[in-house]
Structure 1
Amino acid sequence: MRGRYLRVAAHGELVSLIVLLANLATAHLKPLSSLMGPLHGCAYLFVVIAVWRLDRIDTTARAIAVLPGIGGLLALRWIGRLGVRARPVPRDGGG
């Protein structure tokens, strides 16, 4: 279930960045920027935090996740190659 949220957030991050850049290159509508900017930022933070909280993830996936825009999708692909299921680390640190 958590993997689905990560996948949705990663796609949302990429789409919001594309919309922001397209808006900047064309009409530069302020309402669109003020809507998509925080949306992109929240999606980016969600992706980074979600990847960093996954159990049994190497530093490569965590480093890839901090790339803006495409990092979440690349991290998901890397995690899929490792065969890691999307389970967060327990809060108490125990197993």
Structure 2
Amino acid sequence: MRTLQISAAAETATLALLLLNLVTVHVDEVSALLGPVHGTAYLVVIAATFLVPAPPSARWLAVVPGVGGFLALRRTTRSVRSGR
């Protein structure tokens, strides 16, 4: 669960930085650094969602780029609290 939390935060943060870079100065080196980090965080979110006991709807939410990790995390923690 901790991996999902960290990767969801990394996915959203790197997407925000990539978009900020795009609309402001557009430094190619920043894009070259953050692009692969964002892609890796995205894949880790999907893999971590499949490794934790999560409902199928959380697994589908993990595929949403940018905020899917947080959506899947929210759905997973909600189902754990309710005992499903």
5+ residue gaps, structure 2: none
Deviating above 3 A after TM superposition, structure 1's stretches of 4 or more consecutive aligned residues are none
- The alignment covers a number of residue pairs equal to 81
The aligned runs of 1:1-95 (5 Å cut-off) are: 3-55=1-53, 57-83=54-80
Distance 1:58 1:7 in 2: 17
Percent identity between the two aligned chains: 43
State the one-letter code of the partner of 1:59.
Answer: P
Measure, in 2, the Cα distance between the counterparts of 1:21 and 1:4: 26
For 2:59 and 2:80, the matched residues in 1 are separated by 15
Higher Rg of the two aligned structures: 1
Deviation at 1:6, TM superposition (A): 1.3
Going by fraction, where is helix more abundant, 1 or 2? 2
Matched to 2:41, the amino acid is A
Distance in structure 1 (CA, Å) of the matches to 2:22 and 2:80:
38
SS class of match (1:33): helix
The answer (yes or no) to whether the contact 2:55–2:79 under 8 Å persists in 1 is no
State the Cα RMSD in Å. 1.1
TM-score using structure 1 length: 0.81
**Matched residue SS, 1:11:** helix
Gaps of at least 5 residues in structure 1 are 85-95
**Cα drift, residue 54 of structure 1:** 2.0
